[in-house]
Each structure stands twice: as structure tokens, then as C-alpha cells.
Amino acid sequence: MDDNRLELSRELEEMRQQFAVMKERFDRQEIVTDGLLRDIQKRRMNLYDWLKLYGPVMVIVAMLPLMYLCCRQYGLPVWVAVMVYVVAALEIILQSLERRKYRKEFRFEGDVLQIAGCVRNFRRRTFRMTVFTGVVLVLVLAAGYSAWLPNVQLTDDPFRWALCILLILGVLAASVAVEIRSFRILDSIVKDLEQ
């Protein structure tokens, strides 16, 4: 009977040790998972930065032939081209300043829910800035085109007009695609951090 109790206590002790080892492994697994989650979110935030900072630069470079064609060949006022570039540069500067403001929180250290709230606030503010610069850009383009269109003959060169329209549509589509992709990245970061 004592042998049975001794054997039972030995088995219980082995089970406790096994549970301790399993608990330790489980705790380490949580840390690895949390660390991986933070690394993935950092990578996503770097992709967002790349899109929001270099995306407008690529759009500006793509707009150079369009602006040259419209100003040189069709008499678009140069101030319209300059204002478009100023608004794009303003967007880049505002995004950089906003990112710098939240840089400390985007180290993804501390409570995950607080980080998610910070990313949500950052998304809200950048959305407002994007809408503001988009409205300003549309107003500048509308003013420029309203001053330009009465002086232009649409039958001058249909190929160039088609090229100009295609470039405008391409630049607009690229700009909208960059904005949509960047906000989807922020949404996925918030969603993953809140789960």
C-alpha cells in the first residue's frame, strides 16, 4: 500500500513537472506570437510609409509629361501645373509630419489595444488630410481648366487630346489606388491588433 502511494506521488510529481514544462512552452509561444504580430505590423507600417511618401512622388513624376504636354502644346496656364505640384508636395510634407508625431507609438511596444487605438487615430487624421488635399487639388484643377478651356480648340490634334486625357485618367487612377491601398493597410493593422 505504501508502495502504491509512493508510486502515485511519484507519478503526480512527474505530471506537475510536465505541466510546468508545458506552461513554460506555452508562455514562450505567446511571447513569440506577440513578437511576430508586432514585427508584421511594423512591416505593414513601413509599406504604408512607402506608399504615402513615395506614392505621390511617383505620381508627380508621372505627371511631368502630362503637364509639359498641356502647358507647352495646349496653353494650360503654368500656374495650374505649379499649384498641382505644390499641393502634392504639401501632401507629402503633411504626411511626414503626422508620421513623425506618431512615430513613438508606432514602435509597437506596450499594450496592443493602445497601439490599435493610436493607429486608428492616425488613420482618421491622415484620412482628413488626404480629403483636404484632394479637395484643394480638385479646386485648383477646376479653376485652371475653367480658365484654359475657352481658349483651346478641341479639333487641333485629336491624338494629343486622347493622350492628354489618358494621362490624366492614369494619374488619377494611380493616386486613388495608392490612397485606397494605404488605408486598407492601416485598417488591417487595427483589425489584427484588436483580435
Model confidence pLDDT, tens digit, residues 53-104? 777 777 777 777 777 777 777 777 788 778 878 887 887 888 778 777 776 6
pLDDT at 114 over 50: yes
The pLDDT value given to residue 105? 64
The pLDDT value given to residue 32? 46
Q: What percent of the chain has pLDDT over 90?
A: 0
Q: What's the whole-model pTM score? A: 0.64
Count of CB atoms situated within 10 Å of the CB of 121: 12
pLDDT at 160 over 70: no
CB under 8 A, 24+ apart: contacts of 125-129: 125/98, 126/52, 126/95, 126/98, 126/183, 126/186, 127/183, 129/91, 129/94, 129/95, 129/98
Q: Which residue has the cell 479639333?
A: 155
> Does residue 191 or residue 30 have the better pLDDT?
191
Mean pLDDT, the chain, integer: 76
What b/e sequence results for 39-48 when a residue is b if at least 16 CB atoms lie within 10 Å of its CB, and e otherwise? eebeebbeeb
pLDDT at 39 over 50: yes
pLDDT at 7 over 70: yes
